[in-house]
A and B are shown apart, each in its own frame.
Chain A
């Protein structure tokens, strides 16, 4: 039996290191903001705006609402940054604010729902998936893309907010179960079970596209 570390484990190890470095950098910037350097908050905004927007957009499926709610989340974070004690990573805290802001908005407007979708950028492996789908369905790629995007969003919106949140954070944003548990405020077991249930629902709704 070999005692050396498998090659595959080097990637998560490096990823962990990168996260630790990012967390310590964030902590330093947060410290500056807490000491009164208001402009330093822009560094955090530029760093996290796309991911936070992505989370909120995938929760609401509405880009105008997502833009507005992302700003609202950043304002909330800015206003209460003195209450951030650094017990968790800054991005966990920020994502929690973003998710809660989006969920409150969805609760307030549960009867007023319409989609306004972003354009899908075709890149790398995603382009291959689209080609496969186009060949399989013998349809033109542009039309297929629109249909797929619509069906994906419809399937996501059929999920309850708490199940949708877990899917967005895990499958789309690539966060770990533990990070999701910290953001959502539940146990890792609950995250896993919600994810399992949500994926079953999505499989059933999207079986037309899945091999």
Chain B
């Protein structure tokens, strides 16, 4: 019998190496090969499933790329129309110096919104931003830029009463920041 000294140490590595010897016998590989040949033949003759086609690399690229491409195309189609309406007012004429004398803010407190809407500028040829003094529910006054178009008003705030200034559309160049800070008023 081997003495204690001759015996190898039992280490984790030695135990794990035991698992190398967990292996099947020869008859297992015979049936393995038969099964494999049958499955390979099946794989050779079967038509690719629709899901395989759908998830092929080309289809994956198309599935992700096509919606993105459509969104870009939509954005391109819509943008020129938007620019056409805003361009003349933004870049048509050189900005005249702001006539501060013409800026007179008149307060029309507690007017119903529907009445105010009738007073919206009708002489605008295209969409323009106009500064409106808006009185909110707490009766404090705010100046806001509001986009007007000849036919429809796009960005009129709701739930507030309007106090419109008497600026003409031609000399209007007051920025929102100016309005907020009360400059040029």
Given contacts A131-B7, A132-B7, contact A210 B32 (CB under 8 A): no
Interface size class for chain A? 35 or more
Given contacts A75-B39, A126-B17, A206-B15, contact A118 B22 (CB under 8 A): yes
Taking the nearest CB of chain A, how far is it from the CB of B54, in angstroms? 17
* CB neighbors of A among B72-96 (8 A): none
1/0 per residue B1-23: CB within 8 Å of A? 01000011111111111111111
- Total B residues in contact with A, Cβ cutoff 8 Å: 29
A71 lies within 8 A of B32 (CB): yes
B32 lies within 8 A of A126 (CB): no
Q: Which residues of A contact B8 (CB under 8 A)?
A: 125, 128-129, 132
Chain B minimum-CB-distance residue to A78:
B40
Complex: how many Å from CA A70 to CA B29?
12
Complex: how many Å from CA A206 to CA B20?
17
Taking the nearest CB of chain A, how far is it from the CB of B23, in angstroms? 6
B2 lies within 8 A of A131 (CB): yes
Measuring CB to CB, which residues of chain A are less than 8 angstroms from any residue of chain B? 38, 41, 45, 49-50, 53-54, 57-58, 63, 67, 70-71, 74-75, 78-79, 117-123, 125-126, 128-133, 135-136, 148-149, 152, 167, 171-173, 199, 202-203, 206, 209-211
8 tightest Cβ-Cβ pairs between the two chains A and B:
A118-B22, A132-B7, A171-B16, A121-B21, A129-B14, A211-B9, A120-B21, A172-B19
19 example contacts (A-B, Cβ-Cβ < 8 A) are as follows: A41-B40, A45-B36, A58-B19, A121-B23, A125-B8, A125-B14, A126-B18, A129-B10, A129-B18, A132-B7, A132-B10, A136-B10, A148-B18, A149-B18, A152-B16, A152-B18, A172-B19, A209-B15, A211-B11
